[in-house]
Structure 1
């Protein structure tokens, strides 16, 4: 039997080391689906419940494996559904390749069923590389370039393959004009280091500073040891952008935790009081949480020259890979003997963790959501992977969860879309099947798409050497983050018609799907529930009834935010008294001495 274009596509993916394709079938990719059958499902076709979830799973896989994630969908609606996940990859700089079908070439331009002009549709999201393959000889070069570009640019790319071409006999490119060969699969990993004079300038700035702060993002992940060494030399505190939460563990006494609206008070004070700032691998956008303009001299290190110097008026911009650049910089940095600045940072951090514990232990109705994550922190394995969804639960992931050991974690950092928590966890399990994975998800995200993906987990969990995948649902029957944004940003009371969610038992649904399922409606049950879930021999779900009126108060609530909150209450918020009591209790633990 002759090898088809679909057959060769899978062969080339195997050559690249691709072990699974997250996908949903449709007649626009029937030729490729048939090839999976002929290839004994190698690479594995991982069937999600929706194409958007396939893209999110590919993003999660890429984030936690360091390899390219591959997703696939049919023409028309399937290709459209991939877009949100692909934009998540684009904005968080994640290598993902999308393979999408298209109507037969003979029907193109004829308003055929499911014919969508995919090139302009995908032009923005796959701007680094997008190609429609129209003859077999195109395929090797097109696929190889899509993968290489995704890895080199840390971006999504896309391949469009018409359905009739997928079933045609494959013929390789020839040694003739207008045909383009390709090299064997490989991705070079150059180490880019800035020139010595720029490194010396950066060292001069750091050496002159008396109160040094370091901000790390996901681009610093391969340079954790070097960041620690630099922090020891300079006496700096280290704050973490949300995508860089797993760069350094939180048990280091000078790590101030997350920064920004979802961040900590020690990170806010670190930036407020420093005179020198080093940014490593981060494109953190909220300048109001960085030092006042003109107050601090700043240095930035980033692999992408197009993303550097965008967020703060940096004096020295070092375009280079974080690990290599820091290694070259370290010998030029002098140790600071005066440790008063470091002592102050460590005192602030220690005090903050005490405040976090006291806030987590406050009574609520029925369960304080902060305590959900605090109890997890006490028990989480040191090799766990944590995924978080977008919503008020993200605050507790950012502030209350102590990373330690080899823990990894991520979320939709820049797009901040709802829905990736569970599919990210699925991607994480395929990336690291021997590690436990925990997904922290609000009930809004679970109702949006997380429930269906529990079926995907049930289908594939026996492939994983460690079957533990724990989904924790913050069950408060409220689209809670938006409710708080209404109150704090626009001074509007909660609008029940848009914010209230229908009541549902996530535990019962999960139990029916074969999960270990625990319903929690009392804080005293939390510890036992986490122990049970983390000891289970199969995936588990915690359905925790949380108080929606526990406020996600930022580390520095502005006067305008407090004024808007008061206006919301005065306008008749349906839970005014309870939210004021919970807010006062929570803030008091931060402000009052103990």
Structure 2
């Protein structure tokens, strides 16, 4: 049957099982929005306050479900406003399809009104992108975009469609998407055997988990593997939830704000089994001194990550879940009693700690964990609050911490929170923000109110740009250049002005009742929690230092 390009876009989205889209209309994309209007009972469109919010919401939706998130925007500034969200998804391997419309084919390249080469702009931050100038190619292009976004290592794909293509007609025939197979064609039996030998010979193995384990949904295989190997387990920020934070083998996060147990343990181990992690500089610190006593075995779906940041002694390329299934069949029960005791001694000697006399970020996170029984989806912005959310909330399931790891996008969390709540309406979904981050996209509270999405926004408000101030305090002689937010913005009144509930928290005893009330209200709520401006995230590794040089407040007092 013959359909317009706009109708083909909608039919292809329905083919892919898309039920929610986040976006903002404009001139060049009007035809698509007109077609969407006719299918509003099949595809729910969320009009965000800003296109960046739409990209982050689609990203949060994707991370919470494993499905492909979809966002849409018009040409020019509409399209460029998606760029930060697309880059965020690219850095964290999130399956996303961004659909933009552009000026008509005859106007391309002529500096037409609201024309931008968005494909050129996003080329470095997408797995692939397309410019569609022929309506006959439109359906297959959209299908390819979804396949690319979710195949192998996931990522964002952009489809830019000329306006006349959305109006022109072409034959359309519905197609059922092919099932995406897990990447296993590069897994070599020799690599598996080498890994088994290394693991069985090791006296002090340590397992390091990254975001690839979450994406692969290999949590059950990971638990089995860790207990078979009898090895301590650490994770990156992106790997949280792939291995239960309540398991006795778990040692906490690794890297710049990782636990001393993890940092010292990885430095002392003789084999580091790295699963779905890319050895980010925030994890590795000084690469020349990283895991200096260990052989390194890396398991990753992306061959480009092998020997990119840290040289390995062996590797297996393939989907993490498939690789672990193979290893679990070949490895018998191992025992490393003395090594586990050594790690447990480190846990006792170096627990996480914070100032208990006053209201602090860690206390708020711990209270949130207790009240939700660890069964909420936590989204975050970027900064001190993000690290506290990683350190003090125990994640036991994948896809329960949604945060910008690779790009470190301030303003990410609120949009992602809305996307995650719409994807998982029965879950409690909470965004943790600092006041600096919250200001960037706080207009999305209006979006949550418009659609009555009952999210909880916790603002850990220290009236400064906390993480930058921490660095200025420790390494820049206390020169607080442009990090003090000493204005009179009232987040409670602001929340109320946008139609949400606002609750102020200034004392420890107010935290639990405020969180409980926010959950009970079942509407958008903003908690403005005021803490001291000089609360810090510890432990900490200075930039460029070895992870074994981690220090905390106790070490500073000794100095």
TM-score by structure 1 length?
0.87
The answer to whether 1:394 aligns with 2:386 is yes
C-alpha separation in 2, matches of 1:294 and 1:271 = 9
C-alpha separation in 1, matches of 2:183 and 2:115 = 44
Cα deviation digits, residues 369-392 of structure 1 (max 9, x gap): 221112112222443110111111
How do 1:354-365 residues align onto structure 2 when only pairs under 5 Å count? 355-356=352-353, 359-361=354-356, 363-364=357-358
* Counterpart in the other structure of 2:491: 506
* Counterpart in the other structure of 1:374: 366
* Counterpart in the other structure of 1:543: 528
Shift of 1:405: 5.8
Evaluate the alpha carbon distance shift between residue 234 and residue 163 of structure 1 in structure 2; reply closer, same or farther with a 3 A threshold.
same
Query: Equivalent of 1:225, from 205, 220, 226?
Result: 220
C-alpha separation in 2, matches of 1:263 and 1:43 = 42
Tell me, what secondary structure is at the counterpart of 2:279? coil
Query: Equivalent of 2:278, from 280, 283, 293?
Result: 283
Query: Equivalent of 1:295, from 290, 293, 296?
Result: 293
* Counterpart in the other structure of 1:184: 176
C-alpha separation in 2, matches of 1:523 and 1:559 = 36
Evaluate the alpha carbon distance shift between residue 590 and residue 403 of structure 1 in structure 2; reply closer, same or farther with a 3 A threshold.
farther
* Counterpart in the other structure of 1:571: none
C-alpha separation in 2, matches of 1:208 and 1:415 = 38
C-alpha separation in 2, matches of 1:559 and 1:7 = 53
* Counterpart in the other structure of 1:312: 310
* Counterpart in the other structure of 1:568: none
Evaluate the alpha carbon distance shift between residue 501 and residue 33 of structure 1 in structure 2; reply closer, same or farther with a 3 A threshold.
farther
The answer to whether 1:587 aligns with 2:550 is no
* Counterpart in the other structure of 1:564: none
Shift of 1:267: 1.0
Shift of 1:216: 0.3
Shift of 1:167: 2.1
Structure 1 unaligned runs (5+)?
174-181, 562-582
Tell me, what secondary structure is at the counterpart of 1:378? helix
Instruction: Work out whether residues 262 and 395 of structure 1, in 8 Å CA contact, stay in contact via their aligned partners in 2.
Output: yes
Instruction: Work out whether residues 265 and 556 of structure 1, in 8 Å CA contact, stay in contact via their aligned partners in 2.
Output: no
C-alpha separation in 2, matches of 1:392 and 1:472 = 13
C-alpha separation in 1, matches of 2:345 and 2:452 = 44
* Counterpart in the other structure of 1:527: 512
The answer to whether 1:337 aligns with 2:335 is yes
Instruction: Work out whether residues 99 and 159 of structure 2, in 8 Å CA contact, stay in contact via their aligned partners in 1.
Output: yes
* Counterpart in the other structure of 1:274: 269
Cα deviation digits, residues 52-87 of structure 1 (max 9, x gap): 111111111111110111111100111111100000
C-alpha separation in 2, matches of 1:2 and 1:145 = 21
The answer to whether 1:134 aligns with 2:147 is no
Tell me, what secondary structure is at the counterpart of 1:3? strand
Query: Equivalent of 1:452, from 429, 443, 462?
Result: 443
C-alpha separation in 1, matches of 2:72 and 2:296 = 43
Evaluate the alpha carbon distance shift between residue 546 and residue 190 of structure 1 in structure 2; reply closer, same or farther with a 3 A threshold.
same
Shift of 1:261: 1.4
C-alpha separation in 1, matches of 2:70 and 2:539 = 37
Evaluate the alpha carbon distance shift between residue 329 and residue 339 of structure 1 in structure 2; reply closer, same or farther with a 3 A threshold.
same
The answer to whether 1:125 aligns with 2:122 is no
* Counterpart in the other structure of 2:31: 31
* Counterpart in the other structure of 1:245: 240
C-alpha separation in 1, matches of 2:29 and 2:536 = 47
Query: Equivalent of 2:409, from 387, 411, 417?
Result: 417
The answer to whether 1:147 aligns with 2:150 is no
Which of the pair has the greater relative contact order for Cα pairs under 8 Å at 6+ separation?
2
C-alpha separation in 2, matches of 1:418 and 1:348 = 34
C-alpha separation in 2, matches of 1:84 and 1:187 = 30
CA RMSD of aligned residues (A): 2.5
Equivalent pairs, count: 547
C-alpha separation in 1, matches of 2:396 and 2:130 = 43
C-alpha separation in 2, matches of 1:518 and 1:142 = 48
TM-score by structure 2 length?
0.92
Instruction: Work out whether residues 203 and 332 of structure 1, in 8 Å CA contact, stay in contact via their aligned partners in 2.
Output: yes
Q: Which segment is superposed worse, 110-119 or 131-140? A: 110-119
